[in-house]
Chains A and B, each alone.
Chain A
Amino acid sequence: MRMNGRNVFVIGTGITKFGEFYDRDSTSLAVEALNAAINDAKIDRSSIKSAYFGSMVSNSSPHSSFSSKCLRECNISIPFTRVEAGNASGAAAFHQAYTSLASGIHDCVAVIGSEKLSDFVKNGTIEKILGSTIDYQWEYEIGATLTSLYALITKAHMREFQTTMEQLASVPVKNHKNGKENPHAQFRREIPLDRFLSAKRISDPIGRFDLATHCDGSSALILVSEDYLNRKGEIKNKIPILSSEHSSDVLALHHRESLTQIKSTVTAAKKAFTKVGIEPTDIAVAEVHDAFPISEILAIEDLGFFEKGEGGNATEAGLTQLNSKISVNPSGGLKARGDPFGATGIAQIVEIVEQLRGRADKRQVSEIEYGLTHNIMGTGALAYVNIFGKEEMKQ
């Protein structure tokens, strides 16, 4: 019996532009992404035997179930599963789809992430929605918001490692520079460092330009097993999924021993690297969860790209820029691409697959062997880490 299950491949990607689309609903966005993925995979849609939909709020009232509507519009009648894992719902849906293929249950599945957040225009609504990604009873109802908890984490990192405001701001500066070259990004312009530093603080030290925006968008993937490929013959542009791991940590920050490490990221990354048999230094390109500047700094430390406490320094020194030591968030990340929760985890995978296929145009990272994605829920109660490569694993 093979411990790791069958090899699984991404053969199609689809993504909409991210942003505010007042004239479109979540179904419309999901249909566009899924059709694009099917066309990219060049398969007959009847080959798809199951679908996994990742969404935090847009698959329930008041948006109704976009999953059913999307499949109807795409003329596919198959069983589907709705997956919710807060703002990591996309990565969670991908992980479920991967598991169904690796285990041998299915041979060809679709993964779709979609979110429609621009409908929530009333003040405080998004804060309440995000309240479910933290301890609702003993953090949110006490007065905490996701942003305020990240403010505490930022202060802890600044105190422990002397991380500066300039180092923190260099994260979104870099991501906006990358996002400029991404046609699907919500913000395709550079923002200078002092703009971040001088912005009004919404929860000190986090300023109003530091957050990833909660927007609309959809992304989709077609995944197949090695048996499917053996039956159908050679499919071009297939990218193997070398590992898909997730891990958890306690929900509330006041229950954690340290605020300066996301334990779920560390354990998921360790499992992922061990399975592939590579080191963090082998990763040339990574899409990490940069919902706040400190999120990316913690991610690059906890994933093992830099020593603990060195994330701020490394970013300011340009070591995470495109084609430097490691290219982090070449798509622009959550910050410049925008963050439609359920679509984000899958959009990260779309970017890494396009990078490995060599189709990322001006954002293309040269000489890639391995790419990684990292998506977390809330302050890290759940973390998903996936590693992709050019060559499949030998069983």
Chain B
Amino acid sequence: MEPPKIWREKRQRYLALGISCTKCGKRSFPLSEYCPYCGTNDVEEYRLAETGKILYFTNVSMTSDEMAFNAPYCLGIIELDDDIKVTGQIVDCDYNDIRNGMEVKMVFRILARDGNDGLIKYGFKFTSK
């Protein structure tokens, strides 16, 4: 894992930031300098809704080295209450209890570890509401 990249992204990862366009009014994720819908750069930072529901999910057991400490884990696409969709892990619940449409809330967790001595990357995950 590259320290400059983790440092550069930490604000948007930790705060779960997207943008809200002051011209067309649309919101989008992730953070960007220009609105992907109308192209203006007149955009404001926007914090994603912290609750939503699961659209699709799967149980990941074969993954990258940095994520392996955590495997198997549940990964899904979440539709947040502000209609923005994000990919995220669903944690702190038994995989067999997870259902389509289940209501979830955003939590702050460790995403990846670079061995025992390396950096730790944090970001959002989801848990049952």
Contact = CB atoms under 8 A, between A and B. Distances in A.
Interface size band for B: 20 to 34
7 contacts: A124-B63, A141-B112, A144-B87, A155-B56, A203-B62, A208-B62, A254-B77
Interface in B62-100: 62-68, 70, 73, 75-77, 85-89, 100
A145 B62 contact: yes
Contact of B63 (A135, A143, A151): A143
Contacts of A253: 77, 87
Interface of B: 9, 29-30, 56-68, 70, 73, 75-77, 85-89, 100, 111-112, 121, 123
A205 B70 CA distance: 20
Contacts of A128: 64-65
A139 B123 CA distance: 12
Given A142-B111, A143-B75, A253-B77, A124 B65 contact: yes
A63 B117 CA distance: 28
A252 interface: yes
B58 A143 contact: no
Contacts of A156: 56
Interface of A: 122-125, 127-128, 131, 135, 137-145, 147-148, 151-152, 155-156, 159, 201-206, 208, 252-255, 259
A201 B89 CA distance: 18
Contact of A155 (B30, B58, B87, B121): B58
Task: Tell me what chain B mostly uses at the interface: helix, strand, loop, or mixed.
Answer: strand
Contact of B88 (A125, A127, A142, A202): A142
Contacts of A255: 85
Given A148-B63, A202-B62, A203-B61, 17 more contacts: A128-B65, A131-B64, A137-B30, A141-B111, A142-B111, A143-B60, A143-B70, A143-B75, A144-B87, A145-B60, A151-B60, A152-B75, A202-B61, A203-B58, A208-B62, A252-B87, A259-B56
Contacts of B77: 152, 253-254
Contacts of B100: 159
Given A137-B9, A141-B111, A142-B111, A127 B63 contact: yes
Nearest to A202: B62
B76 A152 contact: yes
